[in-house]
Structure 1
Amino acid sequence: MKLKPFHIILLILTYIAVSCSGNKEKKVENHWPNAGITYEIFIQSFYDSNGDGIGDINGVKKKLDHVKELGANAIWFMPIMASPSYHKYDVTDYKSIHPDYGTMEDFKAFLDEAHKYDIKVVIDMIINHTSNKHPWFLESQKGRKNPYRDYYVWAQKDTIAAYIDKKTITLDSDNIRQWHDPGFGEDYYYGFFYGGMPDLNFDNPKVREEIYEIGRFWLEEVGVDGFRLDAAKHIFPDDRPQDNHSFWKEFRDKMTAIKPDIYLVGEVYDKKEIVAPYLPGLPALFNFDFHYTLIESFKKEDGMLLAKKQKEVLDFYNGITNEFIDATFSSNHDQPRLLNSLDENPRKLKQAINILMTMPGAPYLYYGEEIGMLGKKPDENIREPFLWDMKANDKGRTSWMIPTYSKDDMVTPLAIQKSMSTSYFNHYKEIIKIRNSNRALALGKLELYEGELPKQLMAFFRNHDDQEVFVVHNLSGVSTELDAPEEFQTEIYSFGEAKKQGDKIILPAYSSIVLEY
């Protein structure tokens, strides 16, 4: 068929339109682990695939599309090993899957599927302590001559009498008793968190070898991509920090010999000066300062409080090594739900994720935050069932507990939010996509805005190679404006009707804008 002139013109115009639209949308990239996004899941509350009321591994496999759609690059599972507790932070068998969650075959099948989605899998590794029902501890209790006695820390009551009730409350434990009476004899055992979690004795080489073998099992025989190391500061007591640092270096050497690209992220709950010496052994560390300062910034309506704190932390770590991963987070399984921490203000929640995604780091997202789930202490109420659909239609919603906060009349389920353009879920998706499509936002260095600012504004630059962006957030309920840097003309993201108008940036209450050079 011979094309007429108007057909040719139409084809040319169509080609130009397609080409132009393609140029506008940048490619989404996976920056994990250095700057990728990890989604934290408590399996118990996530998705129930077999109708027993408890979330399971097959349920997570069914919902991998949700993780992918959100834009996350990896999953961190809270403990999955056999344990007598609902939270499973007291392990009884390190080479097992908790039967409520499924089988090892289920987990391996899940891993294969996750990797097809290009999603990495990190599991919680709890080695500071075991359950007091672990076979090692049960043997250890049988007497001083038992071969497992020295797997734990035992002492005669009269030698530690002055220390039994002397523990002060710390950031990561409100327990005030470290030495525990097993109920017989004169010997007490040490348990930093509580009596049901006796600490392992890492002065014993056999214990260290047991732990390295457990790591090998999960990396080599199962195939996980890395470990989140619980209570990493407490392998040895607080008065032996150098022994802690040395242990993690040794642990890292042993694990990288098995899997050179292993991902290790440590929980060291303390200020930066205490955290930093762990970097040689744990190249990724959770940034607790980020979480707490984010909340404080909103309460004080002090925009630069977080930006300055983050710059201070990053510069401090860079002075030690430039090979570290800053694991930032806005909430997790130990803190109140983010929406509760932000006065249940929807605009604050959306802006909080804007801040997390425009700051440097490798962000962690806690399951349910993307739909605005609610929850306060005690911990069970921060770990309530995910709301996939309205209860009558929600076949996968778990029922192991009766929720106090995240109920249908208080939280809009995911299925409904997907159809709402202004929902939390669609907001999360949008800002995550913007971040994953812009190398300056994902990988760029942080430079603070040095000009005069209204107190409620946070303003900073992110630059990477030839890309640079200017980011501004208004952390208050009052509209304000800012002189726009002349070279930043292209708006790549706006929230809350923020806009560039002439030489000014107009910032309504709780709004954000990102301009590109």
Structure 2
Amino acid sequence: MIKRTLFQFFHWYSLGDSRLWKEVAAKASDLAELGITDVWLPPAYKGASGAYSVGYDTYDLFDLGEFDQKGSRATKYGDRAAFEVSCRALVDHGIRPIHDVVLNHKMGADEKERVVVRRVDAGDRRQIAEDDVEALAYTRFTFPGRGGKYSEFIWDKQCFSGVDLIEEPNESGVFRLMNEYGEGQWNDEVDDELGNFDYLMGADVEFRNKAVYEELKYWGRWFSDQVPVGGFRLDAAKHIPAWFFKDWVGHMRETVGDDLFVVAEYWHPDMGTLTNYLELVDKQLMLFDVALHHRFHDASKAGGDFDMRTIFDGSLVSANPQHAVTLVDNHDTQPLQSLEATVEPWFKPLAYALILLREQGTPCVFYPDLYGAEYSDKGTDESQHLVKMPAIGCLPKLIEARQRFANGPQVDQFDDPSVIGFTRHGTETEPGCVVVMSNGAAGEISVDLGPNQSSTLFIDFLGHHEAEVTVDEQGRANFPTNGGSVSVWVRRDAL
């Protein structure tokens, strides 16, 4: 049975100049052979910064690199034709395209409008001033370069709940737009950070406007008619009312396909918060396991002082595995980004073994970990930093091992603070494996495989350990690992 393995085919500093869509098409075959089943693509539509946009500053959802807008026709990743080719290449190789959907806000408005706003306490968004302020704001989106093709909808001040910049008076901050929606209050069913985390950036979309609500559903149907869609990654879910995504995802399942893979970015480590959110959206989607990512980060920083028996404590995959997408790093946690909490390279083989080879969760592999990355940017100290993210040498083998050997019942042996392991016992037709890792000194675990495995010879599929392990007459064997390393022990005859 093929296990779902998601691959994030970009990072924040992916090269521009229309190269990424071509790279997707070129690597589709290799990814399929490796065992990747789903590829998460970056936002495909035009951002406010045009050809330089990573895609999260949404300008025009209907411009997939087709129209001369924001200084370019193509997006950073390529034009519409190349995007279509990349999606078809994935499908032709049995891989489902997972598309990034950024509906929370719009940026780069075409015109200013006269608006009425109220100032908001940035530290507690529930504190909204009582005084109205007349001002100008960038809230009118007419998309002149597209000229009404695909949609004639014009976004104006009635389509947004807040902005962060006004003119006459010239101020920046958080401002609640006073219109006919919400009686001056933010949306509910959003995260309670900062009191109410409805507002994030730009012109914040007002989902209570029925016209906006219907336009976004129409866009989802339209987009799915343009390119193959295997699912969606939903950006900034903690800032969007849960009732909207409950309806939007339900509509997509009804009109596009009931087997869509949908994962939301609700960046919160608290299980109570995530469980409540899953209930609000009728459990129609999955969530990224933020808590597990932070456990990996902490473990990689602490080295041998971290108690590996606790690695899954507080994680979504341990509490609600069927709704957990596990990850090691992503474009927000990589060095110099807003949620930077990078997992150190030495620990990444251990972390990937823990998400790729276990029964629970759907693992997501990050582009730089497979292919490497090098880039430079300013840090918080305003100086320029050169970052090199090395490819993890054993990662292709770990992905392959997921498809070949991560089979059958799972038995954990988390008995030692440094050396832990687990056994996948295989099935009648599919081989299993024994996974052993240490964040300290070399060690081993003793495993009872049963008398039917007597005299069976095991080797490390990753090649990290040179030993050969033979199971004794009682079906037991000691499986070693090097210090700060991981080994995946498989039957030699299964190779």
Whether TM-score is above 0.5 comes out as yes
Q: Does residue 1:458 correspond to 2:429, yes or no? A: no
Q: Which moved more, 1:256-265 or 1:489-498?
A: 489-498
How big is the shift at 1:405? 2.1
Whether the 8 Å contact between 1:39 and 1:75 is mirrored in structure 2 is yes
Whether the 8 Å contact between 1:355 and 1:473 is mirrored in structure 2 is no
| Structure-1 residue corresponding to 2:143 | none
1:183 is matched by which residue type in structure 2? E
Relative to structure 1, the CA distance from residue 372 to residue 107 in structure 2 (aligned partners, 3 Å threshold; closer, same or farther) is closer
Q: Gapped runs of 5+ residues in structure 1? A: 1-28, 145-154, 169-177, 237-243, 319-323, 381-401, 412-422
SS in 2 for 1:142: strand
SS in 2 for 1:437: helix
1:75 alignment partner, one of 39, 52, 59:
39
Relative to structure 1, the CA distance from residue 193 to residue 77 in structure 2 (aligned partners, 3 Å threshold; closer, same or farther) is farther
Alpha-carbon distance between aligned partners in 1 of 2:326 and 2:416, rounded to the nearest angstrom: 26
Superposed, which structure 2 residues align to 1:420-435 within 5 Å? 424-425=392-393, 427-435=394-402
1:210 alignment partner, one of 215, 220, 224:
215
Q: Does residue 1:471 correspond to 2:435, yes or no? A: yes
SS in 2 for 1:72: coil
Alpha-carbon distance between aligned partners in 2 of 1:258 and 1:234, rounded to the nearest angstrom: 25
Whether the 8 Å contact between 2:18 and 2:79 is mirrored in structure 1 is no
Relative to structure 1, the CA distance from residue 297 to residue 305 in structure 2 (aligned partners, 3 Å threshold; closer, same or farther) is farther
Structure with the larger strand share: 2
Alpha-carbon distance between aligned partners in 1 of 2:235 and 2:221, rounded to the nearest angstrom: 18
Whether the 8 Å contact between 1:40 and 1:78 is mirrored in structure 2 is yes
2:447 is matched by which residue type in structure 1? A
Superposed, which structure 2 residues align to 1:5-16 within 5 Å? none
Superposed, which structure 2 residues align to 1:376-387 within 5 Å? none
How big is the shift at 1:164? 4.2
| Structure-2 residue corresponding to 1:388 | none
CA deviation vs aligned residue, 1:97-156 (integer Å, no higher than 9, x gap): 24133332322222222211111111110011111x245xx4xx5245xxxxxxxxxx63
1:511 is matched by which residue type in structure 2? S
Whether the 8 Å contact between 2:11 and 2:368 is mirrored in structure 1 is no
Alpha-carbon distance between aligned partners in 1 of 2:310 and 2:296, rounded to the nearest angstrom: 8
Alpha-carbon distance between aligned partners in 2 of 1:206 and 1:96, rounded to the nearest angstrom: 20
User: Which one scores higher on RCO, CA 8 angstroms, separation ≥ 6?
Assistant: 1
Whether the 8 Å contact between 2:357 and 2:401 is mirrored in structure 1 is no
2:55 is matched by which residue type in structure 1? K
Superposed, which structure 2 residues align to 1:389-408 within 5 Å? 404-406=386-388
| Structure-2 residue corresponding to 1:272 | 271
| Structure-2 residue corresponding to 1:228 | 233
| Structure-1 residue corresponding to 2:352 | 353
Q: Does residue 1:37 correspond to 2:6, yes or no? A: yes
Structure with the larger helix share: 1
Relative to structure 1, the CA distance from residue 43 to residue 67 in structure 2 (aligned partners, 3 Å threshold; closer, same or farther) is farther
Alpha-carbon distance between aligned partners in 2 of 1:212 and 1:376, rounded to the nearest angstrom: 38
Superposed, which structure 2 residues align to 1:12-23 within 5 Å? none
How big is the shift at 1:340? 9.3
1:104 alignment partner, one of 80, 97, 102:
80
2:175 alignment partner, one of 188, 193, 203:
188
Superposed, which structure 2 residues align to 1:360-375 within 5 Å? 360-373=360-373
Relative to structure 1, the CA distance from residue 81 to residue 184 in structure 2 (aligned partners, 3 Å threshold; closer, same or farther) is same
- Between the two proteins, what is the percent identity of the paired residues? 19
1:251 alignment partner, one of 245, 248, 252:
248
TM-score, normalised to structure 2, is 0.69
Whether the 8 Å contact between 1:490 and 1:515 is mirrored in structure 2 is no
| Structure-1 residue corresponding to 2:140 | none
Whether the 8 Å contact between 1:233 and 1:268 is mirrored in structure 2 is yes
Alpha-carbon distance between aligned partners in 2 of 1:258 and 1:286, rounded to the nearest angstrom: 25
How big is the shift at 1:506? 2.5
2:82 is matched by which residue type in structure 1? D
| Structure-1 residue corresponding to 2:329 | 331
Relative to structure 1, the CA distance from residue 272 to residue 281 in structure 2 (aligned partners, 3 Å threshold; closer, same or farther) is same
SS in 2 for 1:436: helix
Whether the 8 Å contact between 1:302 and 1:455 is mirrored in structure 2 is yes
Relative to structure 1, the CA distance from residue 202 to residue 281 in structure 2 (aligned partners, 3 Å threshold; closer, same or farther) is farther
SS in 1 for 2:435: strand
Relative to structure 1, the CA distance from residue 315 to residue 445 in structure 2 (aligned partners, 3 Å threshold; closer, same or farther) is farther
Alpha-carbon distance between aligned partners in 1 of 2:8 and 2:365, rounded to the nearest angstrom: 5
| Structure-2 residue corresponding to 1:156 | 117
